[in-house]
Amino acid sequence: MKTSRRHFLLMSVSVGSSLVLSRTAFAADANTLSESDPQALGYKEDASKVDKAKYPQYAADQKCGTCSLFQGKATDAYGGCTLFGDKQVAARGWCSSYTNM
């Protein structure tokens, strides 16, 4: 089977872009805070799933996006947190260090 130059270029671009996208997705996953991280302070990616018996200070209106430690914009799905260094937290998440000063 002969491969034309055009077909070869199209396949190369397709494979190259797939690799770039998969590396970007992997980097984003590697940079998000995990709920199982020992330093996570009771972090939950979805604040509605916080164990209210374990964290009685939790209130339904508390989310990382409204915390004074959150370093993202109000419209960001994920953003930085001063507590977790270079790790990203979900704006809809929560941890036991929530503060709204």
pLDDT for residue 68: 96
Residue 45 and residue 18 share a domain = no
Residues 52 and 14 in one domain: no
pLDDT score for 74: 76
The answer to whether residues 38 and 60 belong to one domain is yes
* pLDDT mean by block of 10 residues, the chain; 101 residues: 68 56 48 94 96 96 96 92 95 96 76
Model pLDDT, residue 16: 54
Residue 97 near residue 68, CB atoms below 8 Å: no
- Whether residue 23 sits in one domain with residue 11: yes
What is the reported pTM?
0.69
What is the structure's pLDDT at 25? 44
Q: What domain range includes position 46? A: 33-101
**pLDDT at residue 15 in the model:** 57
Looking at the structure, tell me whether residues 43 and 64 fall in a common domain.
yes
Provide the number of structural domains found in the chain. Answer: 2
Same domain for 39 and 21, yes or no, is no
